């Protein structure tokens, strides 16, 4: 199962990614969590010790040069468009209590969205993770999902768009859903987060009437504290067991 989790920053997508990953792991599944968000705080949310010591893949300059044939940071010229990446997950995954994590990182140059060695390498690695790995993969996405590519996106099992009852969150959610549809992701759901009342649910449904809901997560001070690193994410999982299970049931093939 390959699951992408997106949404506007601050809606709780990283927390949901962590809770789902831990829930599948506790069920005995093999899980790999992918941090594809430029803010890269999935490791700390999952409780990894010293997350600041984890080196993102995109910052492994010598590796990228070896595989693409071009120095990262350089634009123009020739480099491999299909570098070898099949060994990367097993070599560079970080394992903590059975939870495997791969931090992708981001291209920091001003032309970061261009066809450059770093972006080609990340896109090829993403394609490999989606198409050829057999564990449950849960990916914490950045706001834009173009780097999935059309072929890769069609092989995702589901895309969860996390929204909260605010105008900015829902406008951002609309744009992400539109892009996911254009990329051909077959199953797109919303997850309603920070819900405090039936009025919140009705407001979100009116704004996004055509998108099925995978689950509803009630507003929780424990979730807020966990997102700040003040509580272990496992304790939040116990509080929200039913909500997380509802989402998993929706995703079940």
pLDDT digits (tens, 9 = 90+) for 164-174: 999 999 999 99
**Banded pLDDT at 2 (limits 50, 70, 90):** very high
Q: What is the pLDDT of residue 111?
A: 42
**Average pLDDT of the segment spanning 88-109:** 87
The pLDDT confidence band at residue 76, using thresholds 50, 70 and 90, is low
Is the confidence at residue 75, as pLDDT, over 80?
no
Which residue, among 145, 206, 191, has the nearest Cα to 19 in the 3D structure? 191
- Report yes or no: 192 and 216 within 8 Å, Cβ to Cβ: yes
Judging by beta carbons within 10 Å of its beta carbon (0-12, 13-18, 19+), is residue 39 exposed, middle or buried? exposed
pLDDT at residue 114, rounded to an integer? 56
**Band of pLDDT at residue 70, cut at 50, 70 and 90:** confident
Its pTM stands at 0.90
Domains for the chain: give ranges and CATH numbers.
2-54+96-109+135-251 (3.40.50.300)
Q: Residue 239: pLDDT above 60? A: yes
Phi/psi-derived region of residue 156, left when phi > 0, alpha when psi is between -120 and 50, beta in every other case:
beta
> What was the pLDDT predicted at 108?
55
Contact assessment for residue 192 and residue 163, using Cβ atoms and an 8 Å cutoff: yes
Distance CA 133, CA 223 (A): 31
Backbone angles phi, psi at 103, to 5 degrees: -100, 120
Round to the nearest angstrom and report the end-to-end CA distance of the chain.
8
* Opening angle at CA 234, ends 233 and 240, nearest 5: 90
């Amino acid at each position: 199962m390959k699951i992408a989790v997106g949404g506007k920053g601050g809606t709780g997508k990283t927390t949901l990614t962590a809770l789902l990953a831990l829930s599948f792991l506790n069920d005995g599944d093999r899980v790999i969590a992918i941090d594809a968000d430029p803010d890269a705080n999935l490791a700390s949310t999952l409780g990894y010790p010293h997350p600041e010591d984890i080196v993102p893949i995109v910052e492994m300059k010598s590796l990228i040069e070896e595989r693409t044939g071009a120095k990262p940071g350089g634009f123009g010229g020739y480099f491999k468009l299909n570098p070898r990446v099949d060994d990367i997950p097993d070599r560079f995954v970080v394992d903590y209590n059975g939870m495997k994590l791969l931090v992708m990182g981001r291209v920091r140059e001003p032309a970061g969205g261009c066809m450059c060695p770093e972006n080609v390498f990340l896109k090829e690695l993403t394609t490999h993770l989606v198409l050829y790995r057999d564990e449950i993969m849960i990916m914490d996405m950045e706001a834009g999902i173009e780097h999935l590519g059309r072929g890769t996106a069609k092989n995702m099992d589901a895309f969860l768009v996390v929204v909260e009852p605010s105008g900015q969150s829902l406008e951002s959610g609309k744009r992400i859903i539109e892009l996911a549809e254009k990329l051909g992701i077959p199953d797109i759901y919303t997850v309603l987060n920070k819900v405090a009342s039936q009025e919140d649910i009705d407001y979100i449904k009116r704004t996004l009437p055509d998108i099925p809901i995978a689950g509803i997560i009630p507003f929780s001070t424990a979730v807020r504290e966990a997102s700040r690193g003040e509580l272990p994410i496992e304790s939040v999982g116990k509080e929200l067991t039913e909500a997380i299970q509802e989402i998993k049931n929706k995703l079940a093939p």
